[in-house]
């Protein structure tokens, strides 16, 4: 659903992430493009305005975390603001949410009444069956479905057929009964039959009219639904939002199910819904089949829209894991072309703190290709530990002046670290290589050398240097000024 929006936001934001420093004008220009992209996706104007204002303010005000670029910070800000706009909590990555927590609220005495409302053809009946099926399979609830649609021919039969398909009981049809009467019978049946949930499917109308509303109100007052779900078609864009608004005003809804998300809707409805109506999207209909129903997780959807989850988690990790002061010092030294074994040790430790190495390296935008060239053995945490042990077995002086380390010292270091002289040699060679790179980088001024380091001269050797060059907000050490 969000393909085009994802493309546009992606190109605007990845441009930002590739840069070092950002001026307020850069941010403003990017925000203009983001604004256009959102409007093209059919997001309500007021929602877009609010969004841009919030992001702009934060992008200027927020202290940029060292070790990520301002551009990457902006991506994170946009992401968090998107999550909020979708009704979520940005600190929740949305990973471990079950159906219940984001889905139907059943915290009420049984039988819990759920009322389905919406315009004609929005997908109420199909969604009723999907939800009933889901509650029965996943939540082990006994569900009774009741069709209150006496207007469209064979509407009650449609629900009965769907019920048979998914193994959910439907209230027997009595010809000629009116909606309120049927609802009353449904309630009685739900109580006597000891059902956990009773789901009422109502009739749709072409537009919201008074007759329809007063009928729905009568039903609502009778069944006292714990959840009143508006089913609305994502393909109708802003109309879906207007529909939700008026249903909410007149009937009072507790949540929204957005259907036909599998179609080529531009996404505006999904994006504006929460902000305009104040009601959460709870579920997404993603197809005609009975299992084509998804819980709506703001963080996940925002991630999908932005398509830059990698940058977002990079920033998150950087914020929590990097030892700024050490990184600063290291950077300053590298800037001077200095790189002794202590620096190498500091880098190794920095890398390990960041957690899964391949994961984190893969997250750095633009380095994906380079990463592929690194032998996976070089990324093995065990080999990092080994390197660390070797350096830690050296005397402070040896660490500063590696030339001191001759045969007998190597022997001692190998024994001390539980490795071999060959391992010590390898590390020294790696260090020498990195030192050379640092010097060369000083001359070349940053990223160019980094690329050379990754491509040319043995990726393993370049690894430490690369981490030292995690994109930084400004100036040193990467030299992008």
| Interface contacts to Mg ion, rule CB under 5 A | 124-125
Considering the rule CB under 6 A, would residue 80 count as an interface residue with ligand GTP?
no
Q: Which does 57 bind (CB under 5 to 8 A by kind): ligand GTP, Mg ion, none?
A: none
User: Applying CB under 6 A, which of residues 94, 123, 280, 479 lies at the interface with ligand GTP?
Assistant: 123
d(CA 381, CA 409): 26
Tokens representing 113? 């009444």
Q: In this structure, are residues 64 and 73 in contact, taking their beta carbons and an 8 Å threshold?
A: yes
Q: 134-153: which residues touch ligand GTP (CB under 6 A)?
A: 149, 152
* Smallest separation, CB 236 to ligand GTP (Å): 12
* Smallest separation, CB 202 to ligand GTP (Å): 8
d(CA 52, CA 143): 44
* Smallest separation, CB 155 to Mg ion (Å): 5
d(CA 390, CA 402): 13
d(CA 153, CA 283): 28
* Smallest separation, CB 162 to ligand GTP (Å): 8
* Smallest separation, CB 126 to ligand GTP (Å): 3
Nearer to ligand GTP by C-beta: 89 or 157?
157
| Helix-then-strand count for the chain, H and E | 23, 8
389 three-state secondary structure? helix
Sorted by sequence, the CB contacts under 8 Å of residue 288 that are 6+ apart come out as 126
Considering the rule CB under 6 A, would residue 287 count as an interface residue with ligand GTP?
yes
* Smallest separation, CB 134 to Mg ion (Å): 18
Nearer to Mg ion by C-beta: 123 or 225?
123
d(CA 185, CA 399): 84
Nearer to ligand GTP by C-beta: 295 or 357?
295
User: Applying CB under 6 A, which of residues 74, 82, 155, 470 lies at the interface with ligand GTP?
Assistant: 155
Q: In this structure, are residues 83 and 51 in contact, taking their beta carbons and an 8 Å threshold?
A: no
With CB under 6 A, what is the number of residues at the site for ligand GTP? 22
Q: In this structure, are residues 276 and 250 in contact, taking their beta carbons and an 8 Å threshold?
A: no
Considering the rule CB under 6 A, would residue 121 count as an interface residue with ligand GTP?
yes
d(CA 290, CA 285): 9
Q: In this structure, are residues 477 and 443 in contact, taking their beta carbons and an 8 Å threshold?
A: no
Cα end-to-end span (Å), the chain: 39
Nearer to ligand GTP by C-beta: 114 or 361?
114
Nearer to ligand GTP by C-beta: 292 or 319?
292
Nearer to Mg ion by C-beta: 121 or 475?
121
Nearer to ligand GTP by C-beta: 216 or 463?
216
Q: For ligand GTP, which stretch binds (CB under 6 A), given 26-34, 135-143, 285-293, 473-481?
A: 285-293
Closest residue to ligand GTP, Cβ-based?
A: 204
Q: For ligand GTP, which stretch binds (CB under 6 A), given 13-21, 116-124, 302-310, 389-397?
A: 116-124
E-assigned strand segments in 235-342: 255-259, 281-285, 293-295
Q: Which does 328 bind (CB under 5 to 8 A by kind): Mg ion, ligand GTP, none?
A: none
| DSSP tag of 457 | S
User: Applying CB under 6 A, which of residues 125, 136, 248, 277 lies at the interface with ligand GTP?
Assistant: 125
Tokens representing 180? 């309120």
Q: For ligand GTP, which stretch binds (CB under 6 A), given 24-32, 113-121, 213-221, 381-389?
A: 113-121
Q: In this structure, are residues 340 and 427 in contact, taking their beta carbons and an 8 Å threshold?
A: no
How do beta strands 293-295 and 227-233 pair?
unpaired
d(CA 311, CA 302): 13
Closest residue to Mg ion, Cβ-based?
A: 125
Q: 193-252: which residues touch ligand GTP (CB under 6 A)?
A: 204, 231
The CA distances from residue 288 to 125, 161, 293, in Å, are 11, 14, 9
* Residue found under tokens 């957690």: 355
Q: Which residues form the interface with ligand GTP (CB under 6 A)?
A: 118, 120-126, 149, 152, 155, 204, 231, 259-260, 262-263, 285-288, 292
């Amino acid at each position: 659903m969000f393909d085009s929006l994802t493309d546009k936001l992606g190109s605007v934001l990845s441009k930002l992430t590739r840069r070092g420093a950002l001026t307020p004008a850069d941010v403003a220009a990017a925000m203009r493009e983001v604004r256009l992209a959102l409007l093209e996706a059919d997001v309500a104007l007021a929602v877009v305005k609010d969004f841009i204002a919030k992001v702009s303010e934060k992008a200027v005000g927020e202290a940029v975390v060292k070790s990520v670029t301002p551009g990457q910070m902006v991506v994170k800000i946009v992401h968090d603001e998107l999550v909020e706009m979708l009704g979520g909590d940005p600190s929740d990555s949305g990973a471990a949410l079950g159906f219940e927590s984001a889905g139907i609220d059943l915290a009420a005495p049984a039988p819990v009444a759920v009322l389905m409302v919406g315009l004609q053809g929005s997908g109420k009946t199909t969604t009723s069956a999907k939800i009933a099926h889901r509650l029965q399979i996943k939540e082990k609830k006994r569900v009774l479905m009741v069709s209150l649609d006496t207007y469209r021919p064979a509407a009650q039969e449609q629900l009965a057929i769907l019920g048979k398909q998914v193994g959910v009981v439907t209230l027997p049809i009595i010809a000629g009964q009116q909606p309120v009467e049927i609802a009353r019978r449904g309630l009685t049946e739900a109580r006597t039959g000891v059902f956990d949930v009773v789901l009422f499917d109502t009739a749709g109308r072409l537009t919201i009219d008074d007759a329809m509303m007063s009928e729905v109100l009568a039903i609502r007052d009778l069944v006292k639904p714990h959840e009143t779900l508006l089913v609305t078609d994502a393909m109708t864009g802003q109309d879906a939002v207007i529909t939700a608004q008026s249903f909410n005003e007149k009937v009072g809804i507790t949540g929204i199910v957005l259907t036909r998300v599998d179609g080529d809707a531009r996404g505006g409805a999904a994006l504006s819904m929460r902000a305009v109506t104040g009601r959460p999207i709870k579920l997404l209909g993603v197809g005609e089949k009975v299992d084509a129903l998804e819980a709506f997780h703001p963080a996940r959807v925002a991630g999908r829209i932005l398509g830059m989850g990698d940058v977002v988690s990079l920033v998150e990790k950087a914020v929590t894991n990097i030892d700024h002061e050490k990184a600063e010092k290291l950077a300053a030294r590298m800037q001077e072309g200095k790189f002794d074994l202590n620096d190498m040790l500091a880098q190794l430790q920095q890398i390990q703190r960041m957690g899964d190495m391949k994961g984190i390296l893969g997250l750095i935008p633009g380095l994906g290709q380079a990463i592929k060239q690194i032998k996976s053995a070089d990324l093995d945490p065990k080999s990092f530990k080994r390197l660390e042990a070797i350096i830690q077995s050296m005397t402070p002086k040896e660490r500063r002046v590696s030339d001191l380390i001759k045969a007998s010292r190597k022997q001692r270091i190998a024994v001390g670290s539980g490795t071999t002289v060959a391992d010590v040699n390898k590390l020294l060679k790696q260090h020498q290589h990195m030192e050379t790179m640092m010097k060369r980088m000083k001359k070349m001024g940053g990223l160019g050398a980094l690329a050379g380091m990754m491509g040319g001269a043995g990726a393993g050797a370049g690894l430490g240097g690369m981490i030292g060059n995690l994109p930084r907000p400004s100036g040193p050490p990467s030299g992008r000024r």
